[in-house]
Structure 1
């Protein structure tokens, strides 16, 4: 078999494709949608627009407005209206290889379906039965899975194949649907979409009139494209393919008395995220999520077993709860029959971290996902936890073979140690208790008792972090108070990481404790999974941010009706400059890792845009190890880029010592920076942010907005329209509420009084620190949109390390001496290149009645673009007007119409 081709090894997308109007029709702006959006933007596709498929009418209207060369549907759960695919070539991304169909393709694959039984009615019971893990993996499940990019037609997922790809399928007992979807499925989608668009362009180029819409729809597909995948040029290697129906909740229900832990995990995790697996209750059933296998009974403390009145583990009946940990519940499962030395990964028990009650009726909204312990109580199953002890945490060292919400790996590097801190918070949500647990682990990992720790690396998990836990907040008795507790808990984590000096005021929990900076410990954010809101700010607060090339970052909180905290007023502005930082939180658009590096939010990108997660972890750990062992002379090199606060300051005495390490140099620079008289204590930023979060949690108007949006998000209320930040195809739109400066108004509020709402005195810093806030009403210059040709290939390639102005609240010289090298500070570097995309600026102070305003209402003449657009729409065989991004600073008009060429 030939070696697999990566995205970077594929031919670049043709220049013509970058000029195309591409419309994304999606059911939601989920992780796959955002990966496609950011990928196309980074490649230079300037005319990409997105429409939520809320109705046939909205989809048809979007196509008429954008007149796309191609409609692309990376995540669509409903059929495309006939009138669209009959007139515009429409690509559907199906999460299965060619020949596999149905709405639950991935679910069946993770359940262990090998495809040999064509009858789903008889195949499913076999998958629900206990499996024999002593058999080779190829006899228990498929060895490969894939995705297909096909052309929509009158069939459902059965049209001509433009491209497809496949990938090895790991052990399904240790694979969740979300990890498969966000990893191999998404990576294969990018490769297949790249090839499909290139092939379409080649076919369009053969037409006598490439602008003829009917001719474009009718281009022929080479039948061999359905036979050979993109990566290997091989047919599908995972077994027979067929159509499978949706799996019902009752068919995702393991029996803890019959199934091994591996079988329970396989059945539960095939429905991970949505809809979830199920457990039987006395009244009905409940949904269960996030199952983790516990391999060995010997790892369970004897006192936990004896607490239930049994001498040993075997005496406990299968199905009984053994222990709880941070709200998760450990259940004993059926014996596999392989003996105590089972080497097949069957496990002896299973952890469930979260649960949810089913809807009361079909019209009801979804309930919130909460910890499994709380879910059992809510389901009337509290008796199952009677006498069940909490499994206490004595230390955070990794214990392979069980589930640990947070654990630490220690590796030697140079003259010191690196502490790798991993966490596994479900869906990346940092609850109050989860943050407290993580903070305890960070204290433990950096305690002098661990040794000479030099680098603290935040490794995260499948997600790096998505900020506060909205589901837990929603289920709380008082969501406002839980929001306040949650944001303070995650702020504690970030403040610990930021490491301000003890000479400056800090939060009480750090009083009298030397900071990481003083102790010479460098912090590294290792972003291996997607991050959003407070999770991005958590990473940005670290001295070095290294990201896998597959990551998507969503720095904004605004769409949820939150100002956000986590010291982003400091880290975003320091890293990116005030103008770009304002764009990050105001524009609410996702960023690829490469784009985030160009803006200064990320320092180093590891691997290509389709690097496998295991490979990314290995390479990131290698980077951290190299960082810890590097000499001081490596400072300022492109290999070891770092945050602006690690730059040297004026007056520092000459070249670094030959014996000094890079880590020591970074911390020394940071100490000197923090010691400047002009340095604003970081806790002042925290107070300003928390002041705004108090308004979001308790102010009668702002809190109502946040609570309403959170309820809709948690309970999956159908969206009312496409967020205007995604829309490039409408001529005139009404900006969403969050795009208005008035969104931040708090009528009748008196600055400082908000602290009394939670029984606290107004911090003294509030008297002088209001300037730290980002002014959402201030005019902004659109971000640069010049494309570097080197970044136009399909892969992920090196880019220059970019910084922007450091804002007005820093004290840093323009250029300072660093031995024989001259190091440019953040202030002296400018944004020199960025991928082509429409300007991120939304707000406008232009008066609607101004003659220069796009909102001006004038009767259109026959020569105006508006009239030409309407005329073009009447001819189905010709493309209608091109809708290109508006380069005006106004957001009222989202696009300019011009005649098609």
Structure 2
């Protein structure tokens, strides 16, 4: 069936719907709802059998929904209406939520119901929840609705009748900054964290810090540090710690308020964003390999169970700056000094990695130099994984992986992936040739022809398709909260297999053989030569594409690779 996805952005959910519908044999194209583009004309040009809107901040025009069946994904349960559905759910601390697929009509969120799927709401940030439990529920609801539409006999429920009968109708306004505002003199740590989580990663919580208005992004409770409410107490891993009435919170990122006539600001590590404004504060750095049970917040943790070590990391948005790459490399080396036979590398939820940190690069005084430093730091990390010969390394991909982050996973001996993760194993959308030894690892896993196609098509790949292609060795069908525990059990089983010891013993010989034929240094040198040429050319598309990405500049047209659909 020819399906057109109409979306405000080709975000994580749109990518997942796109990939999974393609897996099921549908022809899928995308049209972005852009300010200067006539959506009715665009839809007529595609002439789809069905329109699906995974994320849309504007109403579908009447000219479209009267001519085509249009299914809208609403991130709320049956009867919930309004533009801040998920924000309200987290702000109010609900335990259960859901996703509803509605047929577009003349009233927002009020159309007939094609599918509704419930989900849990764990205590995590909105963006994590959106890419995890909400995305799982949305995908299930979309697939159910599409199957019902294709069947031709299903009659969707009238939402108004169902809501009136069950007393479910609840229309709520936009959750604005007047409600999100933190009262540092009154709010507890729990309240502050809840407000920060409900605003992550957009719009953030508007606040005044050191005399300047900032949007605060991300929040983690601190158990030991204390101070006067609102006081800045310490720094750690680029984050700042701020006192509440009964404790403190760590805030990883800040974004300045936009000034009239200026480009849209972007998030940066809090310490970097504050710069010279930040007064001298103690750096409460954790040890290079903090244990998982350590109550202190940090973005890198280690857990050891018998012969299995688990090195987890969680960087905002999946981006890895030069400094973050170096800290993770230090932790990786520490983990490799431990007496384990299997080392699991990966996050427990959400993003695995998206590669270099475009925001930090854009903010640098010399973006070309920072690009070079960042890509070399990523390469150092990937090289360390590729040259580990005294244990098996498993990449545990709990969430999405893209560009250099995908290649970091492919450096491991085995790649285990959660069923809901989306892969983007390419660099072309940023005008980059790519590095992180991809010219070695990607063809080795999927073959040269498939590697070339993945790089050329620049389309998302579902976890199931990734397994078929050979990118992934094992897909773990688990909820986001259960993935890490499932991986630990599987890793313990792998460590106990008689064949594992033989595999480890063979790794050194295999690496020496490969080095004698095609040394890793050669792959790195050739890739980085192409990257250096791009970084040093101020007219290279990479610089404009990076700038547009971090400033969230709206494109004028839907990119052809999306509008045309897969070949």
Q: TM-score range by the shorter chain?
A: over 0.9
Q: Which has the higher helix share?
A: 2
1:73 aligned to 2:1? no
Q: Could you tell me which runs of 5 or more consecutive residues in structure 2 were left unpaired when the two chains were aligned.
A: none
Aligned pairs (5 A) from 1:596-635: 596-607=466-477, 611-632=478-499
| Pairwise CA distance, 1:376 | 2.8
Question: Alpha-carbon deviations, 1:435-476, whole Å to 9, x = none?
Answer: 0100110111111xx3x2211211225210000001111111
Question: Alpha-carbon deviations, 1:726-746, whole Å to 9, x = none?
Answer: 1237xxxxxxxxxxxxxxxxx
| Pairwise CA distance, 1:250 | 4.2
CA contact under 8 A between 1:293 and 1:401: conserved in structure 2? no
Question: Alpha-carbon deviations, 1:146-183, whole Å to 9, x = none?
Answer: 1111111111111111111112223xxx3211111111
C-alpha distance in 2, partners of 1:192/1:271?
A: 25
| Pairwise CA distance, 1:686 | 0.8
| Pairwise CA distance, 1:94 | 0.8
1:422 aligned to 2:374? no
Relative distance call for 1:433 and 1:444 in structure 2 (3 A) is same
1:184 to 123, 133, 136: 133
1:332 to 243, 266, 287: 243
Q: Which residue of 1 aligns with 2:149?
A: 200
1:401 to 292, 295, 300: 295
2:254 to 330, 335, 355: 355
CA contact under 8 A between 2:110 and 2:160: conserved in structure 1? no
For the residue of structure 2 that corresponds to 1:614, the secondary structure is coil
Question: Alpha-carbon deviations, 1:217-236, whole Å to 9, x = none?
Answer: xx8533489859xxxxxx98
Q: Which residue of 2 aligns with 1:221?
A: 156
Relative distance call for 1:677 and 1:83 in structure 2 (3 A) is closer
1:411 to 297, 305, 311: 305
| Pairwise CA distance, 1:395 | 3.8
Relative distance call for 1:574 and 1:201 in structure 2 (3 A) is closer
Q: Which residue of 1 aligns with 2:554?
A: 718
Relative distance call for 1:720 and 1:625 in structure 2 (3 A) is same
1:36 to 3, 17, 34: 17
Aligned pairs (5 A) from 1:307-326: 313=226, 316-326=227-237
For the residue of structure 1 that corresponds to 2:282, the secondary structure is coil
| Pairwise CA distance, 1:677 | 7.2
C-alpha distance in 2, partners of 1:241/1:273?
A: 28
CA contact under 8 A between 1:176 and 1:269: conserved in structure 2? yes
CA contact under 8 A between 1:250 and 1:278: conserved in structure 2? no
CA contact under 8 A between 1:484 and 1:697: conserved in structure 2? yes
Q: State the structure with more CA Rg.
A: 1
For the residue of structure 1 that corresponds to 2:60, the secondary structure is coil
Q: Which residue of 2 aligns with 1:86?
A: 66
Q: Which residue of 1 aligns with 2:464?
A: 594
Q: Which residue of 2 aligns with 1:372?
A: 270
For the residue of structure 2 that corresponds to 1:106, the secondary structure is helix
Relative distance call for 1:418 and 1:446 in structure 2 (3 A) is same
Q: Which has the higher strand share?
A: 2
CA contact under 8 A between 2:12 and 2:131: conserved in structure 1? yes
Question: Alpha-carbon deviations, 1:79-115, whole Å to 9, x = none?
Answer: 1111110111111111111221111111111111xxx
C-alpha distance in 2, partners of 1:146/1:275?
A: 21
Relative distance call for 1:430 and 1:599 in structure 2 (3 A) is same
1:533 aligned to 2:397? no
| Pairwise CA distance, 1:185 | 1.2
Q: Which residue of 1 aligns with 2:416?
A: 546
CA contact under 8 A between 1:51 and 1:727: conserved in structure 2? yes
Q: Which stretch of structure 1 is more off in the superposition, 708-717 or 257-266?
A: 257-266
1:681 to 519, 525, 543: 519
For the residue of structure 2 that corresponds to 1:65, the secondary structure is helix
C-alpha distance in 2, partners of 1:154/1:391?
A: 54
Output the TM-score relative to the length of structure 2: 0.95
C-alpha distance in 1, partners of 2:351/2:169?
A: 31
For the residue of structure 2 that corresponds to 1:613, the secondary structure is coil
Cα root mean square deviation, aligned? 2.1
Q: Which residue of 2 aligns with 1:64?
A: 44
| Pairwise CA distance, 1:675 | 2.6
> After TM superposition, which residue ranges in structure 1, 4 or more long, deviate above 6 angstroms?
none
| Pairwise CA distance, 1:401 | 2.6
C-alpha distance in 2, partners of 1:631/1:561?
A: 46
Question: Alpha-carbon deviations, 1:588-610, whole Å to 9, x = none?
Answer: 01001111111111111111xxx
C-alpha distance in 2, partners of 1:86/1:388?
A: 60
2:428 to 558, 567, 571: 558
Relative distance call for 1:464 and 1:282 in structure 2 (3 A) is closer
Question: Alpha-carbon deviations, 1:195-252, whole Å to 9, x = none?
Answer: 22232234x35xxxxxxxxxxxxx8533489859xxxxxx98xx96522222223432
For the residue of structure 2 that corresponds to 1:98, the secondary structure is coil
Relative distance call for 1:628 and 1:710 in structure 2 (3 A) is same
C-alpha distance in 1, partners of 2:514/2:330?
A: 30
Instruction: Give the total of aligned pairs.
Output: 564
CA contact under 8 A between 1:268 and 1:278: conserved in structure 2? no
1:456 aligned to 2:349? no
C-alpha distance in 2, partners of 1:244/1:195?
A: 27
Aligned pairs (5 A) from 1:220-259: 220-223=155-158, 227=162, 241-259=169-187
CA contact under 8 A between 1:522 and 1:667: conserved in structure 2? no
C-alpha distance in 2, partners of 1:224/1:544?
A: 47
Q: Which residue of 2 aligns with 1:856?
A: none
Relative distance call for 1:227 and 1:625 in structure 2 (3 A) is farther
Relative distance call for 1:595 and 1:670 in structure 2 (3 A) is farther
C-alpha distance in 1, partners of 2:434/2:160?
A: 48
Aligned pairs (5 A) from 1:785-796: none
Relative distance call for 1:485 and 1:71 in structure 2 (3 A) is same
For the residue of structure 2 that corresponds to 1:245, the secondary structure is coil
Q: Which residue of 1 aligns with 2:533?
A: 695
For the residue of structure 2 that corresponds to 1:453, the secondary structure is coil
Relative distance call for 1:98 and 1:178 in structure 2 (3 A) is same
Aligned pairs (5 A) from 1:496-895: 496-499=384-387, 516-517=388-389, 520-607=390-477, 611-632=478-499, 662-669=500-507, 671-675=509-513, 678-702=516-540, 705-728=541-564, 838-839=566-567
Q: Could you tell me which runs of 5 or more consecutive residues in structure 1 were left unpaired when the two chains were aligned.
A: 1-19, 113-140, 206-218, 229-234, 301-312, 336-347, 500-515, 633-661, 730-837, 840-901
C-alpha distance in 2, partners of 1:286/1:724?
A: 37
Q: Which residue of 1 aligns with 2:100?
A: 148
C-alpha distance in 2, partners of 1:196/1:225?
A: 19
Q: Which residue of 2 aligns with 1:435?
A: 325
